[in-house]
């Protein structure tokens, strides 16, 4: 018997729950969003939620894991397009635009806020960041090596923190300044990253 249909249904249910939880976390905050609210939003019973996730912390872990998977995919794609300056600029500009999604910003802000209160969530968020930084360091090192640079670990780590701080800050801008000019911000961040990677910008 082919198990894939059951796996597909289970994955769909999980995604349904995660989407509902993300909406509730955005609308009500982590502590304000109960399992009952999540189940109502997802259109299923609380017992069904607990069949897939043992707690709200587990739901956050799954949301963070999804975000990390997307982050790693974007990082790997950066290496693929960095053969040309134009490719790198376009990729970074698109990544900035994605970071300006206000719904994503509200959700991530809530998760980071909970990490400041909850050691279990902090561990989840920090572990994901460690993996994400390692992936970015690998890609930056490869791009710099192709461009003829020989860097020590501290130089690469400094770039990783710079890029992480830039994109982390971009995430909050739609909340703090909804009237920002996305095109202007994007072009300036592209320039900063290009200068950091290549030492100049043509």
pLDDT given for residue 83 in this prediction? 79
DSSP-assigned letters across all residues of 133-192? HHHHHHHHHHHHHHTT----HHHHHHHHHHHHHHHHHHHHHHHH-TT--HHHHHHHHHHH
Task: Report in angstroms the alpha-carbon separations of 31 from 38, 113, 117, 168.
Answer: 12, 11, 11, 23
Distance CA 119, CA 58 (A): 13
The stretches in the chain having pLDDT less than 50 are 1-2
**Structure confidence at residue 159 (pLDDT):** 96
pTM across the whole model: 0.86
Nearest to 136 by CA among 165, 112, 166, 156: 156
Q: How many CB atoms lie within 10 A of CB 147?
A: 11
**Residue 4: per-residue pLDDT:** 52
pLDDT at 1: 45
Of the CA atoms within 13 Å of residue 34, those in its CB half-sphere come to 5
Tokens 């970074």: give the residue: 92
């Amino acid at each position: 018997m082919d198990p894939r249909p059951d796996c597909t249904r289970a994955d769909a249910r999980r995604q349904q729950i995660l989407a509902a939880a993300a909406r509730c976390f955005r609308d009500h905050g982590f502590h304000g969003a109960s399992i009952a609210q999540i189940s109502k939003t997802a259109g299923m019973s609380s017992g069904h939620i607990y069949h897939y996730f043992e707690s709200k912390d587990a739901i956050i872990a799954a949301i963070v894991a999804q975000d990390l998977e997307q982050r790693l995919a974007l990082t790997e794609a950066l290496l693929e397009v960095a053969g040309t300056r134009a490719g790198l600029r376009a990729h970074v500009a698109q990544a900035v635009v994605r970071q300006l999604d206000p719904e994503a910003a509200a959700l991530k802000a809530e998760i980071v806020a909970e990490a400041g209160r909850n050691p279990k969530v902090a561990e989840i968020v920090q572990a994901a960041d460690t993996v994400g930084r390692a992936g970015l360091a690998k890609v930056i090192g490869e791009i710099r090596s192709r461009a003829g640079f020989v860097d020590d670990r501290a130089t690469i780590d400094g770039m990783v923190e710079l890029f992480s701080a830039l994109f982390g800050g971009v995430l909050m801008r739609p909340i703090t300044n909804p009237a920002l000019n996305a095109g202007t911000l994007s072009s300036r961040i592209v320039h900063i990253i290009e200068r950091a990677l290549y030492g100049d910008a043509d």
